[in-house]
Amino acid sequence: MAALCSLRALSPGLSWRLLGSIVLAASVLLGADVAAQQVQADSLADAITAGRLVLELRPRYADIWDAGLNERGHAWTIRSIAGWQTATFEDFRAVVEGIHTDVVDAHHISVASSQYYVDLSYPLLPDPRETDTNRAYFEYVGLPDTRVRLGKQPIRLDNERFFSDVDFRQTPMLFNGLTLVNNSLPDMEVYAALLNRIRTVFATQTRTRIWLLRVAYSPAQDQSIAAYGFGLNQPQTGSDTDLADNSHQVFGLRAEGAVPIGRGFAALYTAEAAHQRHYAGGDPLIEANYWRLGGGAVLPRLAGLGVRIDREVKASNAGQYAFQTPFEDSYAFNGWALQFTSTPQTGLRDTWLSVRAQPGRFTLVAEAHRFGATFGGLDYGNERDLRVTYAVTSSLTLKLQHARFRAGDPAADFYDVTKTWLSLTYDY
């Protein structure tokens, strides 16, 4: 953590150059142990022909009711991904994919990308029609215990609170740049990245400059401790803050795990804290804290039944700015009704109970949330979420999801929202 604190004090340009040196040094110095040899193709042609097809099809029906608009809309959307992953040749391999998303039978719903940042007449379904490249990158695996990846790629960091591909959306969020993962040291992983472009879930392209460094250590089975830091040089991040420049940096610590406690039970715990501040010309109002604390228990022999309670706080800077997470998995946090894609300026406090079980081919999840402000005491509302997933085969999955948000204090400016999704996913 001391190294992270030192990095925080550096200027943006120097931080960027320093992380570039870390990426290079980690690939050489941390890869000192002898790793297992990769199976290599004899030629480039063999690497291509010995590769494998990547194919995904995901039709989904969405029904949305929005009390603020007094409208109910529905639509079918579909995601089609096709590509090829080569075998390894001269320690390199590649992935190239194309993606097409489409909207069918849309009624009283807003799906065009030009509508996302204006007043809407109908409920928003952020799954636009689009044809684009999807994952497109080279990997180098010639260094021991190290993977270097260059190109357009997903980033899923820890629980995806800060970096995610938001795979729930039909168009996943992808990042262009250089990433490195090294596992040379026992029970430790180092992840570093330099990124310069983002393909958002709205299928728009945004230039950026991001450095990212994470060091994780596993002190025991099913337990992890991580220190992380990143700097974002991007004035407009999509967060609704009313600031001209939202560039910021974040430094944090996270611990998570499961500990056997007898009679077949395991105790679950999560603890995390982070600080966000202005960076690279960002507005001085950007200064806020984040923390999460939670725990529960799981009984693996009873269909993996697990129950836990968590509290998460994205604090406010005296009602002028609140902790923002523009690259998070929006559907993994703060309810599935998508009411908090940006943190309100008065902050966000979320207390929730979750229950999960996996009987046979089914996965059942239920969550109950209570939302409020960290500054000023407003009650934002509550939400109930239900999800049923059924594995038809190893490649075919059926999923039904329902989210019901009910607004709290009128002064908080939220409205009742109900959303239901039914999707079928085929992966080859």
Pick the range with the lowest mean pLDDT from 37-46, 58-67, 112-121, 235-244.
112-121
User: Domain extents for the chain?
Assistant: 2-427
Distance of CA 135 to the CA centre of its chain: 16
Q: Given this model, what pLDDT does residue 115 score?
A: 54
Write down the CATH number for the domain with range 2-427: 2.40.160.10
User: Residue 69: pLDDT above 70?
Assistant: yes
Q: Mean of the pLDDT values across residues 271-292?
A: 98
Nearest alpha-carbon partner for 234 in 126, 135, 157, 326: 326
Q: Average pLDDT of the chain?
A: 91
Q: Given this model, what pLDDT does residue 24 score?
A: 42
User: Residue 8: pLDDT above 60?
Assistant: no
User: Residue 32: pLDDT above 60?
Assistant: no
Rounded to whole angstroms, the Cα distance separating 386 from 403 reads: 7
Tens-place pLDDT, residues 374-406: 999 999 999 999 999 999 999 999 999 999 999
The amino acid that residue 161 corresponds to is R
Phi, psi of 73 (to 5 degrees): -130, 165
Percent of the chain having pLDDT more than 70?
Answer: 89
pTM over 0.85: yes
